[in-house]
């Protein structure tokens, strides 16, 4: 059984160490209990429990096919668990899927970047849904100089940076990242490290699946 037990409820009205709160969501504890997932009729994992408190980061580790992406998709609410319970601040995430969607940023393998749009247009679209400043998001990932180019001309690493730039739009306390550094150069990995540190300092949670080194000091390993 995979375990990371010790689920405790924090009180409502959490304030982060930096004093900043997430608008519309005060931050909270994510807890999974006895979670199971099935794909293609096969059980990928079962009996999985974990907990992440504000400011914490979990590194999901394991061989190809272990279920890291599956777990992130389940936590994102994109895949229904076959068993078990997922809770935010003690409340089942299924009870309010819209609220869970609003508090979650999920970076998957597919980036859904439209080839004809520019990075500025892409981020403006997401900013209309989530809030935030596209220019600041471009700057955070070093994309300002590429803001007006059609996305079809971006390199693989530049596309990844654009997908990462969406994370910083709006206020979402739960970041779920699948191989976030794939294709990134050294400077971009460092930029991502700065973003992750700022997110955690505000009380945000990071769950990241990766086979590559990730700038997440103090992250707990979670083996699948």
Ligand X SMILES: Nc1ncnc2c1ncn2[C@@H]1O[C@H](COP(=O)(O)OP(=O)(O)OP(=O)(O)O)[C@@H](O)[C@H]1O
Q: CA triplet 111, 114, 120: central angle to 5 degrees?
A: 95
Q: Taking CB positions, which residue lies at the least distance from ligand X? A: 40
CB closer to ligand X out of 44 and 127: 44
Distance CA 183, CA 198 (A): 22
60 membership: H or E segment, kind and range = strand 57-61
C-beta of 72 vs 127, nearer to ligand X? 72
What does the alpha-carbon distance between residue 58 and residue 196 come to, in Å, rounded to a whole number? 12
Query: Measured from the CB atom, is 74 or 127 closer to ligand X?
Result: 74
Spatial separation of the C-alpha atoms in residues 189 and 147, rounded to whole Å: 20
User: Counting Cβ atoms within 10 Å, is residue 111 exposed (0-12), middle (13-18) or buried (19+)?
Assistant: middle
- In terms of DSSP H, where are the helices of the chain? 68-76, 97-103, 119-130, 134-140, 156-165, 186-201
**90 versus 183: smaller Cβ distance to ligand X:** 183
Dist CA 169 CA 129 (whole Å): 9
Q: 58 or 143: whose CB is closer to ligand X?
A: 58
Give 105's strand partners.
Answer: 175
**Minimum CB distance to ligand X smaller for 62 or for 215:** 62
Output the smallest distance, CB 85 to ligand X, in A.
20
Binding footprint of ligand X on the chain (CB under 6 A): 39-40, 44, 62, 64-70, 209
- 85 close to 92: Cβ distance less than 8 angstroms: yes
Shortest distance (Å) from residue 217 CB to ligand X:
23
Minimum CB separation of residue 133 from ligand X in Å reads 32
Burial class of residue 206 in the structure, from the number of CB atoms within 10 Å of its CB (0-12 exposed, 13-18 middle, 19+ buried): buried
- Shortest distance (Å) from residue 101 CB to ligand X: 20
CB of 70 to ligand X, least distance (A): 3
Considering the complex, what minimum distance in angstroms separates the CB of residue 194 from ligand X?
25
């Amino acid at each position: 059984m995979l375990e990371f037990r010790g689920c405790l409820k924090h009180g409502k009205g959490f304030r982060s160490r930096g004093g900043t709160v997430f608008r519309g969501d005060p931050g909270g504890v994510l807890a999974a209990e006895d979670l199971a997932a099935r794909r293609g009729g096969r059980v990928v994992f079962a009996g999985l429990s974990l907990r992440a408190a504000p400011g914490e980061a979990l590194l999901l580790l394991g061989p190809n096919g272990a279920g890291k992406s599956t777990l992130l998709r389940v936590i994102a609410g994109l895949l229904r668990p076959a068993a078990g319970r997922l809770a935010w601040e003690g409340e089942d995430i299924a009870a309010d899927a819209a609220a869970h969607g609003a508090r979650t940023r999920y970076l998957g393998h597919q980036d859904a970047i439209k080839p004809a749009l520019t990075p500025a247009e892409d981020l403006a679209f997401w900013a209309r849904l989530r809030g935030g400043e596209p220019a600041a998001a471009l700057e955070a990932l070093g994309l300002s100089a590429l803001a007006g180019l059609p996305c079809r001309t971006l390199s693989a690493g530049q596309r990844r940076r654009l997908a990462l730039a969406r994370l910083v739009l709006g206020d979402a306390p739960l970041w779920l990242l699948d191989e976030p550094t794939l294709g990134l150069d050294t400077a971009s990995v460092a930029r991502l490290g700065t973003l992750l540190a700022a997110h955690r300092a505000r009380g945000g949670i990071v769950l990241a699946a990766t086979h590559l080194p990730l700038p997440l000091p103090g992250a707990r390993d979670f083996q699948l």
